[in-house]
Each structure stands twice: as C-alpha cells, then as structure tokens.
Amino acid sequence: MSQQADQPGALSSEGAQGGVLIIDFGAQYCQLIARRIRELGVYSRITVPDRAMFTLNHMKPQAIILSGGPCSVYADDAPKLDPAVLEQGVPVLGICYGLQWLAQHTEGQVLAAESGAEYGRTELQPLDTADLLEGVRADGIVWMSHGDKVQKLGPGFEVLAKSEPCPFAVVGDRERKLFGLQFHPEVHHTVDGQRILQNFVLGIAGCDDDWNPGNLAERKVQAIKDLVGDSGEVVLGLSGGVDSSVAAVLVHRAIGSRLHCVFVDNGLLRQGEREGVEELFRDHYQMDLKVVDARERFLTELKGVSEPEQKRKIIGRVFVEIFEQESHGFDNAGFLGQGTLYPDVIESVPAHGGATSTIKSHHNVGGLPEHMKMELVEPLRDLFKDEVRALGREIGLPSSLVDRQPFPGPGLAVRCLGEVTHEKLEPLRRADAIVREEIESRDLHKDLWQYFAVYVPQKTVGVKGDARVYQDVCVVRLVSSQDAMTADWESLPTDVMRRVSSRILNEVDGFARVCLDISSKPPGTIEWE
C-alpha cells in the first residue's frame, strides 16, 4: 500500500497551507529543490503535473516552482500540465525544463539546441540585478544540463541574464511574476543558486519563513490520533535507528499502550543491535516491545539470491508478513507503523508519478507488497533525515540515538555483495564493529554521515603468518552528507586508517585486503546495493 508522496493524508504536513508547491516534471533531483526551500525556513511540497491543480487548490501556495525533467516540451510523451497554473496570481519559477514549459505556454518557442546539448559549468552574465538576481555576482558559475533551449520569448518577458552558449539563461515577466532559469540553482555547483531561490521565495513571493521541523510534533501526534482513532492499534517495526525511534515515540504519545513495537532480528543486524534496542525501548521507555527471532527465516528466503533489488523486495515482503502475523494477537491492529522518510520515497518509486527512474527499492517503500492488509502509519514520510533529527531532539530523544548514523532497513544484506550467508555475515559484522569502534572512540563520527564495512566476495592473494592466503575483500565506506541525497567520500587520519585495516586483517578471518571507497553520490550510492 505505498502512497504517492503528494497524496493528501493525515500524517504529512500537507494540511498546512502556504509555502512553495514544486511541480515535478521527472527531475531526478527534484527533492533537492524542496530541500533548498526548506533551508530557507519555508515549507515545500512536491506534486505531479496531473495533480497540480488539485494540490494547488488544497495547499494554496505562495509560490510555484516548475522542476527540470528528461523530456522535450514538444515531445508527444511530455508531461502534461494545465496552463491554468499560470493564471492563479501566484509567482512561478521555471527551472530548466520548467523554463521551457513556461516559454512554450506563454507564446514563446522551444527547439532542440543547434549546437547540441549543454552540460556542466558555465559563467552567468547578469543583465539586470534587480529582484531575482539581486546580489548575484557577475561571471558566477552556474550548472547547465539541457538538450533543448528557448529560441523566442513571449510578450511581456525580458532577458535578465545570459551565458556564452545560452542567450536566455534567466528570463522574467515582472508584471505577472513569471520567471525562468535555464540552469539548476538547487545544485551546489551553482555558486549563487541558493541566493536566487531566496530572492524568489522570500523576496518576490513573500513566503512565510516559519517552517521548523520542531514545531511539527504536536501536529504529527494529532494526525496519528485522527488516523488511528480511539480503538485502533498500531504494530510498528522498530529497528532502533533514529527514523523508527522518532516514529515510535510520536505514535506512543498519540495512542499509548495501543502501540505494539516489533523488533525483528533478521540476522542482518550490526553487532550488539538487538541488545541495545531491548534495553532502550523496553527497559527505559517502557514500551510494549516484542522481539521476533527470524534469522533463519530471512536467510532461507535469501538463499541463492544475489540480485540487489530482489534481496530488497524479499526482505520487505518477509518484514510485512511477520508484522501481519504479529498483529493477529491484537484485536484492532489494522495499522503498520514505519519510519519512512522522504528520500526513501523518492528513490524507491518513479518520482511522484513523473518520469524519474527508480534508483533502488527501499524495503519499506518499493519493497512492500502491492496489496497489504494493514494501513500505513508513516509520520515522517515528508521529512528529510536532518529534519527528523531535529524533530527527535524536540521530543526529547537522547543525542546518542538522534545523532547515530543511518542503518538501512535491509541491514547488512545491502553491504554483503552476492548471496547472503552466515559465512559472510559474521566477518562483515565484526569488521563493521571495528570500523565503528575506532571512529567513535576518537570522536570522529561527528563529522561523518555514515561509516561502515562492506563484504566484497572477490578473492585476492594475501600473506598471513608467512603463508599465502586467498581470501575476500573488505571495503570501508566513509561519507559526509546533509540529507542522504548527495554525499562526499571521506577519509580518516592516517594512523586511524592503519589501525582499522590492521585490526580487520588480524582479528577477522576471511579478509585478505582492506580498501577505501572514494566514490561520491552521485554517481555512486551510499550503500553498495
């Protein structure tokens, strides 16, 4: 029962009016636009073109942003958007494809670029630095990524900036408050991108900058009460990570003892994970917690499976089956609680009905069965990770939990390449514990988003005790990030890296080599599968 991210529902912030409505034409990183807007203190929400007018009337936004997209506006399969969105008296900003759509529907003309597609950095030459481009430096770098270009502007539009290959880099109709950018202000390569968004959202549109994840707690709790009712019971999958923990506390505040947390030991956990969850939630928070030992069941289901997407879908299916089985003991447990986040939704399904391709299925979104007997309770579905952490602090969760590194729902299965077996999991679990111990003991984890080990079943020659060995590879993955949508690889002080490598090779049987992953996201992902 996966929901569309823009679907009205009781557990998102969609009931709030105002803010910025982002219409997604299939941009892979449309969520970055939403994230940048929220960084300005303004609520943002994404919807699809064919639901835009419905959402607009429901949300009553103060501004509209049209995203980029992979199609050509003149193509037969181009996303269809009602031009009436331009007649609502709401300021509109088109980005890349959004600019081209705007031009096409205001008597302009869009054609394939004569000189071919334009990708990468280019220098922006502002011609008018009022309103939208106020404070934007001359010859500043912007990021282009387009195969078509605007050839002619409609009446009322003027050119506000150009670049060497793009004569219509920034355009605007000030009277109607319609603006367009051929480049992408949401990516960090555009040096003044956030300033441009700020000028549009806070200046031109005059949006209220009162968005704060911390002030969501009461609304989330009330929404859960409204959804579950006076007698409904929720079975919540508790992993002990920050997402499921924040979700559990919110649901517990809403319905108390009618929340039944289920911790599934799937055999894919980090070292000490099960014991930590039991101590914190059963002993400290006094929540109803049942631990289900499903280690053999999961490994049996995963036997012989190497394809990453198949692994994720199997894990998702088995999780749901276990939750449904556990719910039979509760008369009114018609709800499944999850700590699903906005990036989970974006990466798991074609973005909001658009043309974006699926990156990977998260077990709690794309890995769920098409038909479920339980209704989902997902209070964090519209939030990014750092917003969830802020919400966790607001509701009083300890920093040791709020600031802990993310751990994927499929667990070590997505860090164990190929078939998942006991023989791989145990050395991986130990290697991962060593990585965490060495980093956390030196307080280096505060500068990292995630830090973990990966099992690569690739035999390589080594020497141990003067004898030749032929064993597998352990990869150490260290990344910094803000919202998990993009990430940079990181390293550690040389002495720490040496100790991590030495301990893994000496204390863990099965590895002949330790490597450091120096891939950013994109093009890589944070997890290996």
The answer to whether 207 is a known catalytic residue is no
Using CA atoms in the order 127, 133, 134, 137, what is the torsion angle rounded to 10 degrees? -70
Please give the Cα distance from 48 to 67 (Å, whole number). 10
Q: Considering only CA atoms, which of 374, 392, 384, 346 is closest in space to residue 240?
A: 392
Tokens standing for 155?
Answer: 């009446």
Strands (E), 8-56: 20-23, 44-47
By the 8 A CB rule, do 68 and 96 touch?
A: yes
Among candidate residues 71, 96, 207, 474, the one labeled active-site is 96
**What's the CA gap between 285 and 267, in Å, rounded?**
25
Other C-beta atoms within 10 Å of 522: how many? 12
Q: Which amino acid is at 442?
A: R
DSSP assignment letter at 278: I
Q: What is the DSSP letter of 494?
A: H
Active site residue 96: yes
Q: Is the bond into 167 cis (omega within 30 degrees of 0)? A: no
Of residues 118, 186, 378, 490, which has the active-site annotation? 186
Closest CA to 402 of 417, 391, 410, 413: 391
* C-alpha to C-alpha distance for 394 and 390, rounded to whole angstroms: 6
Q: Which residue has the tokens 């970055």?
A: 32
Across 355-393, b (16+ Cβ under 10 Å) vs e yields bbeebbbbbbbbbbeeeeebebbbbbbbbbbbbbbbbbb
The CA-atom distances, in angstroms, between 60 and each of 13, 16, 88, 360 are 13, 9, 10, 33
The DSSP symbol for 191 reads T
Dihedral class, residue 135 (left if φ above 0, else alpha if ψ from -120 to 50, else beta): left
d(CA 302, CA 518): 29
**CA 167, CA 159: separation in Å to the nearest integer?**
8
Report how far residue 442's alpha carbon sits from residue 450's, in angstroms, rounded to the nearest whole number.
15
Q: Are 237 and 264 in contact (CB under 8 A)?
A: yes
DSSP code for 290: E
Active-site residue (options: 30, 146, 184, 207): 184
Which DSSP category does 446 fall into? G
Query: The tokens of 417 are what?
Result: 């390449």
Specify whether 363 is catalytic: no
4, exposed or middle or buried, with CB in 10 Å at 0-12, 13-18, 19+?
A: middle
Q: Pull the structure tokens for residue 527.
A: 């997890």
8 A C-beta contact, residue 129 and residue 102: no
Tokens representing residue 216 in the block:
């969501």
Q: At what angle do helices 422-441 and 494-507 cross, to 10 degrees?
A: 150
Catalytic residue numbers, as ranges: 96, 184, 186
